[in-house]
Amino acid sequence: DVKVTQSSRYLVKRTGEKVFLECVQDMDHENMFWYRQDPGLGLRLIYFSYDVKMKEKGDIPEGYSVSREKKERFSLILESASTNQTSMYLCASIHSATNEKLFFGSGTQLSVL
């Protein structure tokens, strides 16, 4: 089975800190995604990547950046964390040939105080 691993389940950070959320997948998927999920708002796409060193903005990229130096790893960076970035962050990957079923990590619940 495909495994998408997010480095932390829970994270507490202070306002203004730089935060790194790491995601690794083990199935050689080309496409990787970062979503955030908030009550009443559902899943919203932050950034995605189709290939190494390639990135595209999703629907809510403001305040975030990403890094994809290796195919299996996709990092989400909060340059200066703010309280409105408190959320559940979900990483996902998909094989570009099938393009159909997303595999998600277990999520990182980030609290910014």
Partner 1 sequence: SQKIEQNSEALNIQEGKTATLTCNYTNYSPAYLQWYRQDPGRGPVFLLLIRENEKEKRKERLKVTFDTTLKQSLFHITASQPADSATYLCALPYGGSQGNLIFGKGTKLSVKP
At 78, the amino acid letter reads: L
Dihedral class, residue 41 (left if φ above 0, else alpha if ψ from -120 to 50, else beta): alpha
Helix runs in the chain, H state only: none
For residue 65, list its beta bridge partners: 77
- Cβ 73 vs Cβ 4: under 8 Å: no
Closest to partner 1 by CB, 53 vs 101, is 101
Instruction: Provide the 3-class DSSP secondary structure of residue 108.
Output: strand
| Nearer of residues 75 and 105 to partner 1, judged by Cβ | 105
The residues that touch partner 1, with contacts defined as CB under 8 A, are 4, 9, 31, 33, 40-43, 45, 48, 50, 90, 92, 94, 96, 99-107, 109
**Cβ distance to partner 1 smaller for residue 15 or 51:** 51
Q: Are 85 and 78 in contact (CB under 8 A)?
A: yes
Closest distance to partner 1 from the beta carbon of 20 (Å): 19
CB 35 to partner 1: min, Å: 8
Nearest distance from C-beta of residue 27 to partner 1, angstroms: 13
Q: Give the nearer residue to partner 1 in terms of CB position, either 20 or 50.
A: 50
